[in-house]
Amino acid sequence: MLTYSELIQIPTFEERVEYLRLKDGKIGLPTFGKNRYVNQSFYQSSEWKSLRHKIIVRDNACDLAMDGYEIYKRPYIHHINPVTLEQLINHDPIAWNPENLVTVSYDTHTAIHFGTEALAAIQPTVRTPYDTCPWKGVDSR
């Protein structure tokens, strides 16, 4: 079983993506189709929303909890070990365990599930002084 504690020991972003990448490229199919309502009820619950917030704070809103990879759009919370329909129905603790959760961006989430490493390999933006206000710091002589 993969864990958050192991994940954060991995030194590079690319290696973290590979650690989490689903080898069969399939999302847990039983949570979709006619049983999708179970999945949606879980993710819409107040308990999940509270836990989601705690995980984002724990990970400093960084992709794969990696400093320097801040997520500026809506972060996702990824189950490190996919949960099954039965686990959701039976309220299995693994679905709620912080050791099984990590903050990711949309692109990283797609890379993990579908093996599109190119999406997750995007390097973070390097910030420089005045990069959000280009006329500052320019010598106008």
Domain boundaries, the chain: 4-120
Is the pTM higher than 0.85? The answer reads: no
Inter-residue contact 19 to 10 (CB < 8 Å): yes
Give the residue-averaged pLDDT of 79-85. 91
Q: How confident is the model at residue 122 (pLDDT cuts 50, 70, 90)?
A: low
State mean pLDDT over 3-15: 96
Residue 141: the pLDDT is: 46
Question: What pLDDT, on a 0 to 100 scale, did the predictor assign at position 22?
Answer: 76
pLDDT given at position 81: 94
| Rg, Å, the chain Cα set | 18
- For residues 102 and 55, the answer to whether their CB atoms sit within 8 Å is yes
Q: What is the mean pLDDT of residues 34-60?
A: 93
